[in-house]
Amino acid sequence: MSLFDGSFILASAGALAPAAPDLPAAPATGGATLRVAQDGTGDFATIQAAIDAASAGDTIVVAAGTYDEAVRLAGRDLTLRAEGAVTIANDDAPYGLPITGTRIAVEGIAVEGITRESISGFGATGIAIDGTDIRITDAVVTRCGIAGLLTLESAERVLIEGGRAADNTGAGLALGGGAHMTVRDTVFANTGQMDGPDGTFQQFGRIPCVPQMRPSMPQRQRDETGPS
């Protein structure tokens, strides 16, 4: 098991990482609170129905339960928050929770058992990030066929903080592109054969990275530049 007790900062291609992380902007708030509950006590019975109805500045609060649905989080200035133990588990989709858009926060959501690959050969991933100013806190991503978390080329200013990625076949975190990624205090355990030498990351393409460690962190600094 690896506890990444520090910041892993991914800079734009061709440039060194900044001395301090370029963190994502927080979503605007002050809008409506939309409640999701499977038992009918909320405003919506599914997460996707609430996302589709949301406007900028809204917060979607999801009651505890396992939601067997394909979820796609897109838009601007949205917060998706778990209230209790919330798990997305849908093996019919290649991504459990793909995130696009701008200024989006995901808090306390778990994704598990995503094993279906897409036509391109990717997929089978818990959380796929392809937006700008994305904050993911306390996510738990387990038993996915390729990666727990994945960043794509258009991802920019992403913070992954807390949580855990475990028992994913390929990688705990697959860095598939993007710029200004920061990972803090996230546990990676039992990750697969695609991972890097510390069992934590898998990187595709060429992306210069500099881990920024806290003073208490054992020195594991290394250049994360992948193959061309």
Residue with tokens 């855990």, as numbered in its chain: 164
- Mean pLDDT computed over 105-110: 98
Domains of the chain: 2-213 (2.160.20.10)
Mean of the per-residue pLDDT values of the chain: 79
Q: Write down the pLDDT at residue 116.
A: 84
Q: Write down the pLDDT at residue 210.
A: 39
- CA gap 115, 54 in Å, rounded: 29
- Mean pLDDT computed over 115-144: 87
Query: Binning pLDDT at 50, 70 and 90, where does residue 42 land?
Result: very high
Q: Write down the pLDDT at residue 11.
A: 44
Is the pTM here over 0.85, yes or no?
no
Is pLDDT at 93 greater than 60 in this prediction?
Answer: yes
Identify whether the C-beta of residue 40 lies closer than 8 Å to the C-beta of residue 66: no
Q: Which residue has the higher pLDDT, 207 or 146?
A: 146
In DSSP terms, which residues pair with 98 in a beta bridge? Answer: 128
Q: Which two tokens stand for residue 113?
A: 């058992």
